[in-house]
Copies of this chain bind each other. A is one copy, B any other.
Amino acid sequence: MTGRDADSTRSVRAEAASAGADGGEGVAIRRASADDLAAVVALLADDVRGADRETPGDLAPYREAFARIDADPWTLVAVAVRGGAVVGTLQLTYLPGLSHRGATRAQIEAVRVAAGERGRGLGGRMVSWAVEQARTRGCRMVQLTSDAARADAHRFYTRLGFAATHVGFKLALEDPRA
């Protein structure tokens, strides 16, 4: 293990410890159920990009996708709940692989924090929760990508111990349902 990796591990552990086992400060983080779906989709839509591409008024495609996620032991949607309200979400997927002697990686996608909760540390608690889940599952790495324009998000992940070592490439395909 390199010095940088060891430092990263310590940083995230400290963050997770300060957040407390339940997410801290009245927030509980748990696996989402179908009952959370409307709230999760509302968070996805409350975003500059999401406003164009999500349809919170038509949940049918999300229900179908959630059923697939819920049946898959290797992926989950998590929600952060405060006072009975969903105030954050992220998706965590365990990717099998052959490299690194057959190591499993955890991948974080779709991190969203409710507008009124931003800047209060909730995002950090959610990501630290995901890292602890990954550690419990024996993952060797946690990975994610962040839009190149979002310098604030990059500072956020760097503070949590992540290293910006890669370039993320995307290729959009046409929507078969469009």
State the A residues within 8 Å of B (CB).
1-2, 5, 8-9, 12, 37, 40-41, 44, 50, 53-55, 61-62, 64-66, 68-69, 72, 74-75, 77, 91, 93, 95-104, 107, 109-110, 131, 134-135, 138-148, 154, 157-158, 160-177
In the bound complex, what is the Cα–Cα distance between A105 and B43 (angstroms)? 20
**A170: contacting residue among B61, B62, B66, B166, CB under 8 A:** B166
Q: How distant is A126 from chain B, measured CB to nearest CB, in Å?
A: 14
Given A101-B53, A173-B139, are A145 and B168 also a contact pair (CB < 8 Å)?
yes
B173 pairs with A99, CB closer than 8 A: no
Q: Given that A100-B53, A110-B99, A140-B175 are known contacts, is A168 also in contact with B170, CB under 8 Å in the complex?
A: no
Of the candidates B8, B65, B139, the one whose C-beta lies within 8 Å of that of A102 is B65
- Considering the chains assembled together, what is the distance between the CA atoms of A168 and B69 in angstroms? 23
With A95-B75, A96-B75 known to touch, is A101 a contact of B54 (CB < 8 Å)? Answer: yes
- Residues from chain B with a CB closer than 8 A to the CB of A72 are 74, 96
